[in-house]
Structure 1
Amino acid sequence: MNSLSGTGATPPTAPGRLPLIGHGHQLARRPLDFMDSLREHGSVVRILIGPTPAYVVTDPAITRTVLVSEAEAFAKGGKIIDALRVFFGDGLATVADGDVHMKHRRLMQPMFNKAHIATRGDVMIDHVRAATAAWAEGDAVRDTYEDMNALTLSTFLIALFGPALPAHVEEEFAGLMPAIMKGTIRQTILPSWVTKLPLPANRQHARRVARLRELIDHAIDHHQSKLAEAPDSAGEGLFSTLLTATDPVTGQPLSRQQLQDEAITLLTGAIETTGTTLAWSLYEISVNPEVERRLHEELDAVCGGRPLRYDDLGSLTYMRSVLKESMRKYGPAWLVTRTTTRPVTLDGHPVPEGADVIYSPYIHQRDPEVYSEPAAFDPDRWDPERAKGIGRSSFLAFGDGRRKCIGEEFAWTELLIILATITQRWRLTPASAPPRPQAIVTVKPDKLSMAPHPRTAVPRDTTVPTPPPAKCPVTGH
């Protein structure tokens, strides 16, 4: 029962708290194992971040109450949102619930309709083909996670701002984001008084955030100058939608602060989630020969010997299942927060007004009561018949309810374009030990080196040979 009224027993407190820091040490040292262990203590479990209590929901049905059916009682907020707001500002991901959020969402929605995204599809494909053409056969140490983040960023920048963006903007942004994300998680799991001290780590985080805004300003200025030179080029970047939008209340163009906030929100989401999903997908394809065979078979049936086209994406159903299974197994988010707007009762447990409520897509998507063999990589679990038993709140890669990710359609487009373009031309084999999941903002591989080997597409109606199983050079498996 997921009632939000009445009284009940105080939720159980997770074991292992320490004076002053509470469970902060466990969130810092073993976040995924700690979050997963909470399921055995109940549907709602109390933890302490410093001296401040937070309430972790481990039951997907109750998470749906938080996100959908009783969303007005759970505002977008909490420590992670407060930390993200430091560099997102009031972008769509962090702006408060209510009229302001709905106004932002309506302004941005045209950027992400299917027809608008389609105008950038073939440009993105050409960019990915050119970027991966330089890979050399047998490169022993390509950092696949870094490769996918860089490729995701450059592809999204092409889609967002059009071509010819100054190279230093892309390069610096790619270098800044990992450090900013680590600093954000640090601010989330440490007591607030620590994050306010003039410590070197805190000052460095502030400097990186300030530099990020300067880079975004350069990108916006570049795009505005291109539009001024050639007004008919407005369709060359999705961001033109915001540059030409007007506030429905004031009738004025968006302020520079609003443009900055939305650009940072879009770019951060594009890199962290998409790049991580692609890295894990390439790894799982490389160590699952049957998955690789079926993926190649589908690609060759759809494209034959010609390059991928945007119109092909809708036919790549198995590839979509592979990507969805990567999202399920590895998050991508492992900790999301809301703040109660009034006293509530969750599954019989009272939660006070102003409390942080936490849910974890990572643990929901590995719940053994929902997913058989949750640690296994099984794209076939997304076959329509098998997927009928999976509730909406047991797969939260794009969130749910009124705060569901506005860029889901674009994310799927970019994921399919990049994975299809790479796997059509290359087979990647592991060149390092099996990666371990590491919780930053997304659940990323700690280390993932892979070697590319060219492959030749098999024309339609031709039998596809089964490739030899890829083995890890360390374990031999």
Structure 2
Amino acid sequence: MTQAGHTFVTAPGALPLLGHTLGFLRDPLRFLRSLPAFGDMVTIRLGPFDALVVCAPELARQVLVDDRTFDKGGFLFDRSREFLGNGVGTCPHKDHRRQRRLVQPAFHHARLPGYAREMSAQARAVAGAWQPGRTIDVLAETTKISLRTTAATIFSAAPAALRDSLATDLATLEEGVFRRMLLPPPADAVPTPAKRRYDRARTRSRQTISRIVAEYRADDTDHGDLMSMLLAAQDDLAAPGAKEAKLSDSEISDQVMSFVFASTDTLGKALAWALHLLGGHPRVAERLHAEVDAVLTGDAAAFEDLPRLEVTRNIVTETLRLYPPGWLLTRTTTADTELGGRRVPAGTDVVVSPYQIHHRADLYTDPERFDPDRWAPERAKSIPRGANLTFGTGARKCVGDSFGMTEATLALATIAARWRLEPVPGRRVRAAPYALALGPKGLYMRTVTRAGQGARRPQR
């Protein structure tokens, strides 16, 4: 790639050949947080790769909005495409507008109430199986909630065995991507045991998705889920009967792969982080419990409850600020351009880290503090434009942002209506950024039954 280091400040500490790889691998989050001290744009070296890290929110916004010049690409996305394919979240600019038109109806606001019923039902089913006083693996349980919700909302008619197989393979793939993104050719082709596991999972997951698509196509029944919507999707801007007017089976497989990963892995991790933060902030937890007692009156959360779940929603938003699942984004410049008044050559890898920007003290007061009230309307006005990049921005903003916020809010409220989760003494919880989504490691908590206030609502 074109070298960017001759134009911009290079972060200190680069080693011969390795560059900043060791520091990045040792603690990626700390490494990223250190970069703004050296400027708004800083060059880093990861082995053979040079990348330009954009640290200022206004410049990050420019990169993410101008998706023609700053196209999807770079060391992270090139690797993630290996298993996610060319879906709406990973495809280049030339494919994105058509794919977005075809996919967007599946996430229309009118469909959210139907999805919400499944979201609440799955959260209630998983949390309902917990036993008082037991220690649970929180991430495993929240991933179970998101996986079951994914199955019910994306491909409800698929056999359970296929859904479980896909979830296992996706976990293997996500873990493998982070390791592989720093391996240059031909080292990335060496058949290590991890590489063989990765390849098997990639092949098997593709076969699973293809089988589900084929079965849906043969059945020709509208199951009211996202898969049915994708099969029926029609691009009104395409000529009638044109090949590009509908999604091919291969394109549907790519979309489903991306949606399954995003809705299962990222949402499961976000919900786990929320429960962890509440365990360490009992006063915030008390306010959450008071809200769900008043709004839900003993029942699971429903779509119509969302406007009144203000504390719950702010907890989710603040959790996603502190621990954005998509903590690292990469782009590649398609032409010579200007950024921050300086020339950036074509072929430059550009990095935007929502995690880094969310932790800047000049953007957020006391940024390391868990403070859901910063998202209350009167305080949120003071947060600079572009400072919240949880779901990205511009035309490439996450197509499922409303879906994700709805699921996380309903699931958290449903759990809080019945349970209080306490930290387990002696357990160290830390961020595990060695994957596409930022999750907690070592998160175990003890379940404590709590009695909600008020009469129980009639079952819906």
- Fold shared per TM-score above 0.5: yes
Q: CA deviation at 1:298?
A: 1.0
Q: CA deviation at 1:411?
A: 0.7
Name the amino acid aligned to 1:61. E
Give the Å deviation of 1:108: 0.7
Deviations 1:375-403 (A, max 9, x none): 11000001112111212321111001110
Q: Counterpart of 1:190?
A: 183
| Contact 2:146–2:265 under 8 Å retained in 1 | no
Runs of 4+ in 1 over 6 A off after TM superposition: none
Residue 237 of structure 1 pairs with residue 225 of structure 2 = yes
Match of 1:467 in 2: none
Whether the aligned pair in 2 keeps the contact of 1:8 and 1:350 (CA below 8 Å) is: no
- Give the structure 2 partner of residue 371 of structure 1: 364
Query: Quick one: structure 1 residues 378 and 93, their matched pair in 2 at CA, closer, same or farther if it must change by over 3 Å?
Result: same
RMSD of aligned C-alpha atoms? 2.0
Are 1:442 and 2:437 matched, yes or no? yes
Query: For residue 296 of structure 1, what is the amino acid of its counterpart?
Result: H
State the secondary structure of the residue aligned to 1:350.
strand
Q: Distance in 2 between matches of 1:174 and 1:451?
A: 26
Distance 2:376 2:336 in 1: 41
Task: State how far apart, in whole Å, the 1-side matches of 2:342 and 2:193 are.
Answer: 41
Q: What's the TM-score, normalizing by structure 2? A: 0.92
Select which of 134, 144, 149 maps to 2:138.
144
Q: How does 1:397-436 map to 2 (within 5 A)?
A: 397-431=390-424, 433-436=427-430
Task: Please point out which of 95, 110, 118 is paired with 2:113.
Answer: 118
Counterpart code for 1:241: M
* 1-structure distance, mates of 2:263, 2:301: 22
How many angstroms apart in 1 are the aligned matches of 2:253 and 2:308? 36
Taking the aligned partners of 2:391 and 2:428, their CA distance within structure 1 comes to 27
Corresponding residue SS for 1:417? helix
The 2-side partners of 1:195 and 1:9 are apart by 28
What displacement does 1:344 show?
Answer: 2.5
Q: What does residue 389 of structure 1 align with?
A: 382
Number of paired residues? 445
Distance in 2, Cα, partners of 1:458 & 1:347: 54
Quote the Cα distance in structure 2 between the aligned partners of 1:383 and 1:312. Answer: 18
Output one character per residue of 1:344-389: Cα deviation in whole Å (capped at 9) or x when no partner. 2332443211010001000100100011111110000011121112
Q: 1:84 to 1:292 in 2, by over 3 A?
A: same
For 1:3, the equivalent position in structure 2 comes to none
1:57-206 paired onto structure 2 within 5 Å? 57-68=54-65, 70-98=66-94, 100-140=95-135, 142-162=136-156, 165-206=158-199
1:437 deviation in Å? 1.1
Q: CA deviation at 1:307?
A: 3.6
For 1:92 and 1:404, locate their aligned partners in 2 and report how far apart those are by CA, in whole Å.
10
Query: Partner of 2:186: helix, strand, or coil?
Result: helix
Is 1:339–1:355's contact at 8 Å kept on the other side of the alignment?
A: yes
Which residue is equivalent to 2:212?
Answer: 219
Q: Give the direction of change, closer, same or farther, for the CA distance of 1:418–1:224 in structure 2 (3 Å limit).
A: farther
Q: Output the amino acid matched with 2:448.
A: H
CA distance in 2, matches of 1:357, 1:197: 28
The match for 1:456 among 439, 447, 451 is 451
Please say if residues 117 and 410 of structure 1, whose CA atoms lie closer than 8 Å, have aligned partners that are also in contact: yes
Structure 2: where are the runs of 5+ without partners?
456-460
- Give 1:193 deviation, angstroms: 3.4
**Residues 91, 265 of structure 1: 8 Å contact kept:** yes
Cα distance change on mapping 1:290 and 1:17 into 2, 3 Å: same
The question of whether the paired residues in 2 share the 8 Å contact of 1:128 and 1:151 is answered with yes
- Distance (Å, rounded) in 2 between the aligned partners of 1:389 and 1:194: 48
Alignment of 1:327-338 (within 5 A): 327-338=320-331
SS at match of 1:189: coil
Structure 1 window deviating more from structure 2 (427-436 vs 380-389): it is 427-436
Q: State the partner residue of 1:36.
A: 33
Q: CA deviation at 1:212?
A: 0.9
| TM-score, structure 1 as length reference | 0.89
Task: State the SS of the aligned residue for 1:311.
Answer: helix
Q: CA deviation at 1:258?
A: 0.9
1:146, 1:307 → 2: CA distance?
21
